[in-house]
Structure formats: structure tokens, C-alpha cells
Structure 1
Amino acid sequence: MKKLYPLYILLLITQIAFSQAVVINEIDCDTPGTDTGEFIELKSATPNFPLDGYVVVLFNGSTSGNDSSYFALDLDGQVTDVNGLLLIGSSTVSPVPQLLIGSNVIQNGADAVAIYQANSFDFPQGTQATTTDLVDAIVYDTGEADDTGLLGLLGLTTQISEGGNNNTNSIQRNETDGSYFTGTPTPRQLNDGSGVVLNGIGINVANDQYNEGDTFTIEFTTEFAVMSDLDITFTLDNGTFDAADFTGSTTVTIPTGQTMATTMITLVDDTLDEGDEELIIDLVENFSVEYIILNDQVLIRAVDDDFTMAPFGTPLNPTFGVVASTAPNGYYDTMDGLADDNLKDAMQAIIADPMTVRAHTYADVYEILREADQNPANSNQVWLVYTEQGRAKLDVQTGSNNTGTWNREHTFPRSLAGYNSIEADDVADGRAVFWETKPDSLRHGNSDGHALRASDGPENSSRGNQHYGQYTGPTGTAGSFRGDVARSIFFLAVRYNGLSVENGFPSVEGQIGDLATLLDWHRNDPPDDFEMNRNNVVYTWQVNRNPFIDHPELAEHLWGNQTGVVWMQPLSNEEFSTETIKLYPNPTKNNITIAGIQEEASIEIYALDGRKLHAQNFSGITKINLNLTTGVYLSKIISNGKTITKKIIIQ
């Protein structure tokens, strides 16, 4: 006799059958090192199962996360493989996942992964975990306490631990009873070792960087001998790197019974300064179902040997007077004859003029730094502020791993200043798009080109939010950055209301120190051609300049040994006078900087008994190294037949 079931029982059976069609088969939430090898593996009850109508949701079990969603991924269009598996992870996972997500997306725990019969838009960020339409779920950790709230929300009673931080385990589902255990990760393989064993295709290259003109071998391998000829096609194009930049075949065949084939690629050595480029070895995926890809999108640097060198030196080998200021005539006229706060206010009115000055986004800063901090010795590099070295412009930090990269260093740390990223700050919209800004626009200090420098990633982290004086740079460096950062701080203290430079190491938001240290750095490391060029570049973006680079003596008038003394900007030779030409620091120990004359000139140093001890020609702001004993000396500055004499005190 045929048994009849009420309609609601039939619907329940149908729903259960659907919910059991796909489960969470394996999760690796924490991997050693940079923690980028995380993945989630799903398993369907039958192979080649379409996953339309499903969504994977990740829940944050921390106190701030409130057991709510932080990531949702639609599975529409995805199909499990011949073993019923679908791997989700970043391109750093091997084998390469069928469904790619960013690295470091999957959190360590206590957190959860769940599968729902729903869409990603049903789980906007902050949606609390629920059992409604739930298909399968797991709450996991890496040594954290049980999240009973999250367990309850998902109808679970057991939280699974993957192990401690940086563990080498994954959490895997037992094929027989649905329980979980930890073991060596098995992505794209059934956890019990059964099923179809897939043949992995790998890409191998000896190095990750080659120069133009080099020839290198790309090796393609399989884990097992192929049963029939395996044709492999790949591309190398990426951005500006295209077919004109290389020669060689992009198709190879692994013969029947073999496991390897190679091809030779030669980078074209042209005469164009295109900058360093990156090619990507990207497989054209037309393989039959018995193959999986172990690695793909292999990045190779093509180093351009046609870089240019600037006519001026790096901060380690500074030159002076080669690069002229591009300040317009009359730019500083309104500051003439003023002192102290009146001088500061007039300066701010110029460099924070809301009718002229422009503010750009924090994302735009990368392009500003590529121009402003370009290494004078190699146009394909930026110059790193604290570690005093060049680094490829391509090596900008893009993820959590900052080793070997450069990023944006705030000379006035954000946590001390009180500014942070603002709306649209992550959009690089170029020189022609900008915000209006004024002295009270402190938020724009976050992306001010005069305030940021290209910096080594780890060294930026080491500096943290220390004041200068607490932080003096890496051990063993020459300190060529010290005057630069001092003048950056001086600029900010005038440009923005709410920021100031103070003695000591203040703990008040908006204040930075140490003023005495920064004045000393400013005096002993005067602005060189690199810094003047930087000032000129930032001016093309922001239409404001750093006055302390154009006129270094201004720091003395606001904070140093010329406070209370009116400032007059250096004038032409027609007004050649002791008031317009500055020698500083004075007293000094072993060097003196001349400012205030732009024409060709000479300086002679005499002992008080009339002996000439030093002579040299100069123009513009010039630093002169002295090797004199303690005492008083006379300097004679000569230009166009005019002469002035100034006293120098050597301590």
C-alpha cells in the first residue's frame, strides 16, 4: 500500500535534502608566515554540482564584530569538480582555487563560516548570524575561547580549534560521520584520500626578476606523466608590458608519458625609458577535468635599463644650486617686514590660501611621491626617507606584508596630529581633481604632499608615532633625512590650525616634538637640490610651497635665534646687503649655510690675523663644510663687484 505524507512533511524532506547537497569540507583559517594561504573548501554530495542559489558568509565572533557578517560570496555560476569539491581562496593557495578571493580575508577566530540558500545581498556587512535558510556552518578558532553566542545563533554546540597562531593545520570534515578533525591541509583532495587523483600543472621560473635583454626559461610540469599530449597556452601581457616587449613562444606541449616542457622568453632591450614593468605568466585554462593548476599568474619583474639620472644628487650625495625654486615672483612679498606671529600669519595666508591651494586624496599621494621622491640616480625608483636608499616604484605596499616594499610615511604621525582618512580618500583622481582647502582643514593634512614621504615599509612601522628626538632613524644611516623632516614639520605647524611643534615629547593631540632637535637638524642639514625639486613637484599638485625650503632662515625667525627680528626676503643683487644674505647656523661647529643670494658669488673665510683659510664659488642656497678650530672668523661674500663681510663663530 502506497504511503501518503502530509504536504508539510514533503516540504521538510525536500528542504533537508537541498541543505545536505553541499557542506563545508575543509577550512584553513591561519597559515604560517604572512598568513595568505587561507582557504575554504566546499563539498557537494554529487560531483559537478552547480552551486547556483548558494552563498558563503563569514561571521566575526569578536566583541566588536558582534557575531555578524563581514564577507559574503555568491556561488552562482560555480560548479564543483569531479570529486565534488570547490576551493575558495587567494591566488597564493596551491592548487589555485576555482573561486578567488583576496588574501587575508578569512579571519582567525573565534569566527564562523556558513553556507546559506540565499544571495550575498541578503547578508550586508554587520548582519547577525542566523539559522534562517542555513545549509551548513562551522564555528572555529585558533586557540580562542568558545563563542557561545555565535554557536547559539547558528544552532551549533561545538566550536572547532585549528590550533594556535601560525599553525600548519586545517580543519577537515570526516567523510563518515560529519565530525571535524585537524590535520595537514588537503585542498582539492578528499579528506580521506579517496576519489579521483587530479594531475597538477605547475609553473617554474628560476628568478622573479630579469633585466631587459635577458633570456629566461619557463618550465611547465605535471605531477604525473600525462596520458596524452598536453598543450599549454599562456599569456604574458600586463599593463604596459605586451608583445612588443618580448620574443619567444607562448605555447608548449608536454608529450605523452612525460612530465615537463619548457620555453625560452627574451626580454626586448629597447632604448625607451618605460620604467620597470611586470609581466604575468597566466595560463589559458582549457584543460580537461583530470588536471588542476598548482600555481598561476606568476609575476616577473622586467627591469628597464633605460632609466634616467637627474642632474642633481641624492640626499646622501647632495648638490646645491642646481635646482632653482619655481616660486612665482612676489610669492612671499606679503611676509616682508614682519616678525613672530605676524610673520607666521602672513605665511599661512599664502600656503593655505583657500582661493589657490588644492588638497588631493590619500590615494593621489602615491603618484605625488613617485614624482617628488624619485631617486635622482634612477628614475625607476623612489628614494626612501629614513633608510636612505632607492626602491623600485613598482614595489609599493599593497597588502599587509610590508617587507621589501615602500609606503606613505607621515612625518607628523596621524595619531599625534588627529587626522585620518576621509571620504573618497581611497580614490586616485589625479592632479586636475581636488578639494578646496583652508587653514582649518586639518583633515587634509592626511594627504598633504609636503607632509608625506616614501618610506621603507618595516621602517615606517618601526618609527610608529614617535616624536623626532625619540626617533632618530635607523642605526648606521647618515641622517640625510633630518633636515627634510624638520622642514616638513615646520610647514605643517604653520599650514594647519591645530598643529604645533613643541619642546620635549608632548602627549597633547596636535603637538609634536622635539623642537630643539628639529631646529638642530634643520641647521645641520640644509635644503639641497633633491628637496628643492621635491618642493617644486608638490607645488604643481597643491599650488603651495614649503617656505622653509625656499627660505631656510624663516625657521630661525619663528622658533630660533631670530625671533622678534623682522624678516626680509632675499632680494636681487641690486639690493645686495648684510640684511638679505644669511649665514646659519651661527655659532656653528663644522659647517655653514649661505642663503639669500641667487646670483653667482664667492665666499672667502679669513682668520682674524688676515690669513685666508677657505675660498669657493657658489650660487643659491649652499652648504659649506669648514674644518676650523674654535674661534671667531670673518667671511667675505662677493658678487658682481659688491662685497659684504659677516662674522662666523666656530664652537
Structure 2
Amino acid sequence: MKRIIVFIVMILMSQIVVSQIVINEIDCDTPGVDSMEFVELKSDTSNFPLDGYVLVFFNGSTNTTTGQGRSYLALDLDGYVTDINGLLLIGSNSVSPLPQYLIPENTIQNGADAVAIYQADDLDFETPTLAYVDETLINVLLYQTNDSDGSELVTIFSDFDSGIQIINEGAAQNTNSIQRNNDGTYFTGTPTPRQLNDGSGVVLNGIAITINQNQYNEGEIFDITFTTEQNVSSTLNFDIVLDFGTFNTSDFTGNTSLTIPSGQNTTSTTITLVDDVFDEGDEVLKISYVSLPSEYLILNSNLQIRVVDNDFTMASFGTPLNPTFGTVTSSQPSGYYNSLDGLSGSTLKQALQDIIANPAVVRAQTYADIIDILKEADQNPANSNQVWLVYLEEGRAKLDFQTTSDNTGKWNREHTFPRSLAGYNDIDNDNIADGKDIFWTTKADSLRHGNSDGHALRAADGPENSIRSNQHYGQYTGPSGNAGSFYGDVARSVLYMEIRYNGLQIVNGFPSIMGQMGDLTTLLNWHRNDPPDDFEMNRNNVVYTWQFNRNPFIDQPDLVEYIWGNMVGEVWNQSLSVKEDNDLKVQIYPNPSHSDVFIKGLKNEALIEVFSMDGKKIKSINNFENNSIKLNLTTGMYFLKIESENKSTIKKIVII
């Protein structure tokens, strides 16, 4: 009999413990970029430990793989404790008051979805796990945002003994939250994070951090102010830290131990940023509390301030807007293109693919690795702390990489051959940046690796990238007033993709067939009129260190004509019959040309001598304006010997 009584008592105690935690409030959709979403849990007693509990979010969409009641997020609550009012707030750093449990912005999905508390482990709900009802289910809430789906969730949770409720938060971008009444029902109203929904409970004294601006240069001085909502009843002593990433205590001076005297509500500290001589790159300091007494409510924390490094370096070559030529030398191995000599047509094209898609040599990196590749390959020659934006034609801080749905002022990865046109997307482990030495073996048929090919991805302004979307080149010509400094770059990028991957093709017009992209005529003109410069050669060299292949149309731009242009069917040879002297760094465009050509890179007067293919000098030109030359030649191939500043070079040109 005694054992039976003890057993009954244990069951009752278990039921009491199980009933102590519920979903008190959820805000699944907020105006803007959904940065203010949160979930609030409530325990029947204050300071309740949540060890052994997991909060699981389920997708109610009709997607047969990720939806129909499958989990998309599971939060382990081990180590967390509710506050004096029995509340635990879960949300991003943008939520105020600051949640005790921080998650990234825009993590919580809109309805029709569900959120549930289980006595289980987060590993029990590795995504996507189908929702279920058993004795470990403690509480569940089904919520909507004017949605019509979610029927599978209703079916799954209909067996829950405590019953289910389906609450509509409102239309998209609403300002409501779903809140629990004391009787267990729910209502919608103005969000009340870290407050009891009926207005009762202990009122905590909130403390807020204030800064005047979010960016300073090395050597500048700024104040951080801390203010409580009410005067403190006893002296408040607290510490802060400014460390974050590479920014540490060696990068600033100033007091980080602060006091608000009894009866007052504010204090401040003055921080001086150390102006060192090291090029560390722009850094970020983050203002955070070390600890605060439990009677204080943190209204905001983890405030970030950009520290701009004034020790940035400049490259020896120019930006695409102010290009230089010949300063950067190709790092191609000796004889890299030798196998192409003497070939033409489809044989030449295949031989080129055999080089740049050789599975015994070429490596494929992840889509996450591309971020690091672009920070190096697309580094702004005028400022080593920035990337160069391909369409906007300007630099942007490397730190401003887009990490949320908000792309304003951010840069991201632009596929020159759009995903939706090519048919590739993220693959397993594509979100892991594992560095140069971890890679996939890849070949010409590995189209999936086109998603993360550094030769076909560029740093781009977020909004401009969205505007370009999946338009063909020719449909898209860049933002209004652009200088076209990227035309040749993107042309050579997508032409490379056709050779590198089977299943891709550059065609005339604006096709709607998967794997095809246009417009070939436009891209050929862009290639001819914007020849490869030092910026493009440098990025070719950088990508080569990761992928062990090169874009041949940067190293050997004339190859374009032999595959798509005016020399199709002609035999390709690298060596010219007239020896080249590359001391004079210039570029000629358009090439092929109908008559007139322009020379990039000339700074002083020059003598131009025109030779036929057999080496016979046809004419000399020494008087021309604006670097424009009228050749007046018949159709064919010629060599131009250009002499200036006691230097010379020989360039091949095609007249059509």
C-alpha cells in the first residue's frame, strides 16, 4: 500500500512539473524584415529551470519535404531559467527588452505553423522531423497569418489531451502578437515581451545603452551612456565588454567598470580608439554587459560600432573604372594552354574544357567559401578593406556582407550566369566555409558546382543584384549612368561557364530554355570593347589558388574569337610570327574591328606600325588623337607594333 501511495505521489508531482511551462506569447510576423519576432515561455513559478525541455517549431506548408508538420527549428532549453515573473524571452538582438535566449533575425517563420514544448532533446527533432503527440508533449500552439494551409498540423495535434488552439495573428507585416490569457485561451494584441500579459507581476527597472553614432575612425573618441528607466534604489555597479572578433582591449582605452549612484539613473564612459600602424582591416566592437542584478531588465545590448582602419593598403593596379594593364602578370603554369595549339572548332573547344575542367586537377569549393574568395579576388585596389561592386562600380566595406533578408547597404554574391537560368542551387554542405584545402572533386558534368565557381561569382550591391535578378545581359546593362567597366568582365565570366560545364550555352537573344543564356552578340561586343585589365587578371590569379583552374579568356582573350567570334574554324596558335615585347602595357579594342580601333594605356605620343601576317610592314601612323586610330585595312589579320616611351609591344588585330 505504501508503494502505491508513493507511486501516486510521484505521478502527481510529475504532472505538476509538466504543467509548469507554457507558450505565453509569440510574434511570428513583424513589419519590415521580421527582425522583431519572438516567442515567450511562462512557468507557473519564478526562476524555473528549463533543463530537459526543448522548443520546437513546425512548418505547416504544403511542401512534401520540409512542410506538412515537419520541424524546421529545435531550441535546447538546457541551462536556461525563467525570470522573477516566470518568463523566458526568445528572439533576436533587435528585440527589446533583450531576450535571454538569442536567435538570428527572421528565424521564426510566418504561419500556418506550430510551436511546441516537449520534455525531450533538440537532437530528437533534427530537421525535418514530423511532429508527434506523446507523453513528452507539454504545450502546443498553432498559429496563422491569414493562411489557408496547416491542415496536417491540425490532424497531428488533434490527439493532444490538453487540446489545441489555432490563433490567427493577422495579415502579413502585422503589428500584433498572440498572447495567452490566464485561463489558457489566446488573444491578439500589442506585443508585450518580458511582461506578463495581464499587466501584473514585478516591474523590473530597464537599463538602456545610448551611442551617438555607429561608426568611428581609429584615433577618435566617443561616449557610451547608460540610463535606467527609474532612479536606482541602491548603488548599481556593473561591467561592460567591448571585445568582438579581432577587436580587443589593445584597440581602445577607457573605463569598463561603471556605477550609477543611488537615487540617480545615468552614467557614461569615454572610449578612445587606438590609432595603431597595423592594417587589421575595419573591425567591429560590440558593447555588452558582463552581468546585471536580476532586478534590472536589459533593454538593449550587443550594440555594434564600426571601427574604420585608416591603415588600408592600395594595390599597384587600378580599379575597373581607372584600369591599368600589364602590371599584374598571369600566374598560369608554364605550358598551361599548350595543348590548344594547332586546334580549331569543336576540337579546340573540347581541348579547352579538358584544361579547365580536368577532374584530376580542378577543385570545387563551397558556396560559403565564395565569401572569402570574393573578399580577396574582388578586393578594391584603392582600399584593401573593401570589395569592388561589379555593377555599382564602387567600393564597399568587406564587413558589409549581407547576412539577413535586409540587403540595403550590403553586398552579396552575384551569379553572372544566374541560378535559375543554369539550373544549379545549393547542395549539401554548401553552407560550410571549410577553406582552400577541403574541396570536392569536380568535372565537366558537375553542373551543381557551377553554383560556387569563383570565376562566375562577383561581389555586388544587394539591391542592384535584386534588380538584375535573372535577366540576360543585353536585357540588363547595369544601373543608370554606369561606365560599363564590368562589361568585358561579365562577358568573359559567362563564356567561361559554357566551356567549363556541360549543359550551359551562350546564345543570341533572350532564351527561356534551361541552360541557355544571352545575348551572345552583346557579350562579344562587351568582350571586344572592354579588354581584360589588371583587376581582372588579379582575380583570375586569386581564384586559381582556390580552384586550380583559370578563366582562359582573361589569359588569352583572342580565344573568344576562335570559339564564338570571327575566327571560328581557324587554327589557334599561341605563338605569334612576330615576337611580342610586353614592356609597353596597352590594350587594343574593339578587336575584331571594322576599321577604327582605340588604344588603352598610352600616356605619351606613340608610333604605330602595321604588319601583315607574313611580316611585311604595310603602314606607319604617328599622328592620331584621343588614342583613336583609323586603320583603313582590308579584311584579315594584322599585327600592330606600338612604340612609346622607349618601349614597344606587338598586338594582333582582326579586321572584318
Q: Same fold (TM over 0.5)?
A: yes
Deviation at 1:123, TM superposition (A): 3.0
Other-structure match for 2:144 = 141
Matched, 1:174 2:177: no
Deviation at 1:145, TM superposition (A): 3.0
Which sits farther off after the overlay, 428-437 or 448-457? Answer: 428-437
- In 2 relative to 1, CA 299–533 (structure 1 residues): closer, same or farther, beyond 3 Å? same
Other-structure match for 2:615 = none
Matched, 1:202 2:233: no
Amino acid corresponding to residue 440 of structure 1 in structure 2 = D
Amino acid corresponding to residue 399 of structure 2 in structure 1 = L
Partners of 1:449 and 1:313 lie apart in 2 by 21
Other-structure match for 1:523 = 528
How is 1:47-62 mapped onto 2 (pairs within 5 angstroms)? 47-62=46-61
Amino acid corresponding to residue 637 of structure 1 in structure 2 = K
Deviation at 1:25, TM superposition (A): 1.2
Which sits farther off after the overlay, 150-159 or 61-70? Answer: 150-159
Equivalent residues of 1:217, 1:263 under 8 A apart: yes
Matched, 1:309 2:307: no
Deviation at 1:215, TM superposition (A): 0.5
Partners of 1:387 and 1:131 lie apart in 2 by 53
Other-structure match for 2:584 = none
Partners of 2:332 and 2:236 lie apart in 1 by 65
Equivalent residues of 2:68, 2:152 under 8 A apart: no
How is 1:290-301 mapped onto 2 (pairs within 5 angstroms)? 290-301=295-306
How is 1:251-650 mapped onto 2 (pairs within 5 angstroms)? 251-285=257-291, 287-571=292-576, 574=579, 584-588=590-594, 591-592=597-598, 602-603=607-608, 612-614=622-624, 625-626=627-628, 637-638=641-642
Equivalent residues of 2:599, 2:628 under 8 A apart: no
Partners of 2:633 and 2:359 lie apart in 1 by 49
Equivalent residues of 2:215, 2:307 under 8 A apart: yes
- Tell me the SS of whatever aligns to 2:111: coil
1:310-362 alpha-carbon deviations (Å, 9 max, x no partner): 12111111122222222233222221222211221222222222333222222
Partners of 1:572 and 1:226 lie apart in 2 by 87
Matched, 1:101 2:100: no
2:122 alignment partner, one of 98, 120, 123: 120
Deviation at 1:384, TM superposition (A): 0.8
**CA RMSD, 1 decimal:** 3.2
- Tell me the SS of whatever aligns to 2:414: strand
- In 2 relative to 1, CA 367–602 (structure 1 residues): closer, same or farther, beyond 3 Å? farther
Partners of 1:644 and 1:96 lie apart in 2 by 67
Partners of 1:231 and 1:399 lie apart in 2 by 35
1:165 alignment partner, one of 172, 185, 188: 172
Partners of 1:268 and 1:591 lie apart in 2 by 53
Amino acid corresponding to residue 198 of structure 1 in structure 2 = L
Partners of 1:590 and 1:643 lie apart in 2 by 19
Amino acid corresponding to residue 386 of structure 1 in structure 2 = Y
- Tell me the SS of whatever aligns to 1:613: coil
- Tell me the SS of whatever aligns to 1:284: strand
Deviation at 1:274, TM superposition (A): 1.0
Partners of 1:483 and 1:124 lie apart in 2 by 46
Amino acid corresponding to residue 62 of structure 2 in structure 1 = T
Partners of 1:8 and 1:649 lie apart in 2 by 98
Deviation at 1:12, TM superposition (A): 6.7
1:103-138 alpha-carbon deviations (Å, 9 max, x no partner): 222111011112223332333333333332322221
Other-structure match for 2:199 = 193
Other-structure match for 1:620 = none
1:45-89 alpha-carbon deviations (Å, 9 max, x no partner): 121222233222212111121123222223222221111111111
- Tell me the SS of whatever aligns to 2:538: helix
Amino acid corresponding to residue 454 of structure 1 in structure 2 = A
Other-structure match for 2:89 = 87
Deviation at 1:35, TM superposition (A): 0.2
- In 2 relative to 1, CA 339–109 (structure 1 residues): closer, same or farther, beyond 3 Å? same
Partners of 2:648 and 2:143 lie apart in 1 by 82
Other-structure match for 2:31 = 32
Other-structure match for 1:618 = none
Equivalent residues of 1:61, 1:109 under 8 A apart: yes
Which sits farther off after the overlay, 628-637 or 584-593? Answer: 628-637
1:208-227 alpha-carbon deviations (Å, 9 max, x no partner): 11111111111111111111
Equivalent residues of 1:605, 1:613 under 8 A apart: no
- In 2 relative to 1, CA 8–268 (structure 1 residues): closer, same or farther, beyond 3 Å? closer
Which sits farther off after the overlay, 154-163 or 217-226? Answer: 154-163
Structure 1 residue runs without a partner (length 5+)? 616-623
Partners of 1:643 and 1:502 lie apart in 2 by 34
Deviation at 1:198, TM superposition (A): 0.4
Deviation at 1:233, TM superposition (A): 0.6
Partners of 1:330 and 1:585 lie apart in 2 by 25
Amino acid corresponding to residue 174 of structure 1 in structure 2 = N
Partners of 2:629 and 2:589 lie apart in 1 by 16
Equivalent residues of 1:60, 1:70 under 8 A apart: yes
Equivalent residues of 2:224, 2:268 under 8 A apart: yes
Amino acid corresponding to residue 613 of structure 1 in structure 2 = N
- In 2 relative to 1, CA 646–538 (structure 1 residues): closer, same or farther, beyond 3 Å? closer
Which sits farther off after the overlay, 404-413 or 633-642? Answer: 633-642
Equivalent residues of 2:610, 2:620 under 8 A apart: no
Matched, 1:74 2:76: yes
Q: TM-score, normalised by structure 2?
A: 0.88
Partners of 2:633 and 2:7 lie apart in 1 by 103
Equivalent residues of 1:604, 1:613 under 8 A apart: no
Partners of 1:91 and 1:359 lie apart in 2 by 35
Partners of 2:650 and 2:403 lie apart in 1 by 55
Equivalent residues of 2:562, 2:572 under 8 A apart: yes
Q: TM-score, normalised by structure 1?
A: 0.89
Amino acid corresponding to residue 139 of structure 1 in structure 2 = L
Partners of 1:191 and 1:603 lie apart in 2 by 84
| Identical-residue share of aligned pairs (%) | 61
Partners of 1:21 and 1:474 lie apart in 2 by 58
